[in-house]
Chain A
Amino acid sequence: MISQDESHPMKSCFVTVGATASFHLLLQAVLDEKFLAALQDAEYTHLLVQYGKDSQTLFEDLLRKYPPGSPGRHGIVIDGFDFNHAGLDREMRLAQASPAEGRNGGLIISHAGSGSILGALRLGVPLVVVPNSTLKDNHQVELARELQKQGYVVASEYQEVSVAVRRAEALRTRMLAWPPVTGTSQKRHRTLDQVMSDELGFLD
C-alpha cells in the first residue's frame, strides 16, 4: 500500500480518533504545519489518519492546504480513512519496526479509547494519548495520566501534540514490557480464572 524509497526507511505515525465520537480538534492539530514539521524533524515519512465516519470532508479540507510537494507538507506522505470495522491492528502495525520491510519504529497517536491504547501497548509502539476533552465523561483523562505516571504512554493535550512527537521519541528508549510483569513485591490477587472458579464451585 505505502511504498518507501530505498535511501530512506519508512517511519510511520498513525493517528486514530476512534469509531464512536468525532474528534475534530485532534484532526486539526495533526493536519497542521507545526505537527508535520515536528514529524519531519523526527525523520517520519508517513502519516496515516483514521478520521471517523463524519469527518471525511474536514480531513480533505485540511489536506488541501498542504498539497504534496508544498513546503507546508514537509515531505510527509499523508493518507486517511474513515474507519476499519475489522479493527485497527493492521494500521497500527505500520508503526511497528520491521527491518525486513524497511520500516523503522514509528508512533501511534490515539484518542484515549481503551481498545486502541491496549492495541498499541501490545505492539510495543510508543503511544501518545490525547483524551477527547469535549466528551462529557472525562474518565479517560485519568487513565491517560495514570498510564503516563507508570511510564507506559505519553499523555498530551491536542494543542501540544507536536511537542508530544519529541516526547514519544524519548519514550521509545525506555519502553516497558506489556502486559505488566507482576513483581514478587506486589500483593498477590485472585486471578480472573480463580474468581470464576469460585463462582462455578470448582473443586480445585
Chain B
Amino acid sequence: MTPSGLSVTSSLLWLFILGCTVGLSTLVVFLYALYISQNTNIPQWRAKNIPSHLLVVLGSGGHTAEMFSMLRRMKLDASKYTYRTYVVSSGDNFSARKAIEFETTYLNQAQKANTTDRTSAESYTIVTVPRARRVHQSYLTAPFSTLRSFWACLLVLRGRYADQKPLSSMVSPYPDAILTNGPATAVCVILAARLLRLYNFIGGFFSSRKVSRAEGLTPTDYQLRTIFIESWARVTTLSLSGKILLPFADRFLVQWPALEGKKAWKGMRKTEYVGMLVD
C-alpha cells in the first residue's frame, strides 16, 4: 500500500471513530436527559393566582369526544388553568367546534368570545396545524407531511404560529402543561415539546448561569410538561401513539388496570392507573 493510500485509510478511520464518538455521546446525553426528566417531579411553586397556560391537543372524532368528556368530569377550572390553547388538525372541524362549545357553554366564555374586540378578554385560542398524514395519503409523501406538521407543532409551542396572539400575562410563550390522548398530532406535539426541553437542557450546560436545585430556577425550567392519557377504549393494549410516547411523556395515565405499570425500559417511569376518567 502506498503511503498516500495509507494516510487516506487512517484519516477515514479517524473520521469514523470521531463520528461514532459524537453519535454515541449524543445518544447518551439524549437518554440521560430523558431519564432525568421522566423521573423528576416538579416542585410545588405556583400559587393559585399565577396565570397558567394549558395546551390541549385534540386528536379527532372519538379522541376529541373523550378529551372533553374528561375535562367536563374533572370540572376544569378556568380560574386555575387561566389560558387554554387547543391544537386541532387541519380539516377537523368537529374538534374545533367541540372546543368552542366547551369554552362557551361549559366554561362560560360566551360573552368574551362574542365581543368584537377579540384580543382583550379571550382566554383561549384554537390553533390549526397541518395533518401528519391524511387518510389514504401515500406512505411515500407521509414523512414530508409529518415533518411539516412537526415543524408547525414546534412553532405552536413557541407561540409563533399563524393564529397565535402574544400572551402578555405569561412569562413565556411556552405552555405550562400539555394534555393529550392521541393520535398523530399529539405525538408531534409531545415530541416537539421534548425537543424544546432537550434544547433548553443542553443549552443550560453551555450557558454560564449555574443553577442550584431548589432555587434560582426560572419558570421556563418547569414548562412544557407533558401528560398523555391512553384512550378509554384501550383495555389491554397500548395504542400506537401510546407506545411511541411511553418514554417521552412525563405522566402516562391509563384507564384500565391491565395497562398499569407498563414502562418503556428499565428505570423509566411507569404508567399510572387512574380509573375511568371519562363521563
The chain A residues found within 8 Å of chain B, CB to CB, are 19-20, 85-87, 112-115, 118-119, 122, 139-140, 142-143, 146, 178-180, 182, 186, 189-193, 195-204
Contact = CB atoms under 8 A, between A and B. Distances in A.
30 contacts: A19-B61, A86-B97, A114-B62, A114-B231, A115-B62, A118-B66, A118-B232, A118-B278, A119-B65, A142-B235, A142-B236, A143-B232, A143-B233, A143-B234, A178-B279, A189-B274, A192-B74, A192-B253, A195-B274, A196-B81, A196-B227, A198-B251, A199-B177, A199-B227, A199-B250, A200-B46, A200-B52, A201-B42, A201-B43, A202-B46
A119 B227 CA distance: 25
B44 interface: yes
B35 interface: no
A103 to B, nearest CB: 24
A195 B70 CA distance: 13
Contacts of B276: 179-180
B222 A201 contact: yes
B48 A204 contact: yes
Given A200-B225, A202-B80, A146 B235 contact: yes
A201 B235 contact: no
A197 to B, nearest CB: 8
Contact of B279 (A146, A179, A197): A179
Contacts of A122: 279
A43 to B, nearest CB: 31
Contacts of B229: 192
A201 B274 CA distance: 19
B21 interface: no
Contacts of A20: 61, 135
Nearest to A117: B233
Contacts of A113: 61-62
Interface residues of B, number: 54
A199 B225 contact: yes
Main secondary structure on chain B at its contact with chain A? loop
B275 interface: yes
B65 A198 contact: no
Given A193-B75, A198-B42, A200-B176, A114 B232 contact: yes
B113 interface: no
Nearest to A186: B275
A191 B62 CA distance: 21
B101 to A, nearest CB: 9
Contact of B274 (A87, A119, A146, A191): A191
A174 to B, nearest CB: 20
B227 A195 contact: yes
A85 B65 CA distance: 13
B109 interface: no
Nearest to B42: A201
B214 interface: no
B235 A195 contact: no
A156 B274 CA distance: 28
Contact of B177 (A115, A119, A178, A196): A196
B8 to A, nearest CB: 52
Contacts of A85: 93-94
Closest 7 CB pairs of A and B: A115-B65, A199-B225, A114-B233, A142-B235, A201-B46, A192-B74, A189-B274
Contacts of A199: 42, 176-177, 225, 227, 250-251
Contacts of A87: 94
B235 A200 contact: no
Nearest to B226: A199
Contacts of B134: none
A182 B48 contact: no
B177 A200 contact: yes
Given A115-B61, A189-B275, A203 B227 contact: no
Given A139-B237, A189-B275, A195 B222 contact: no
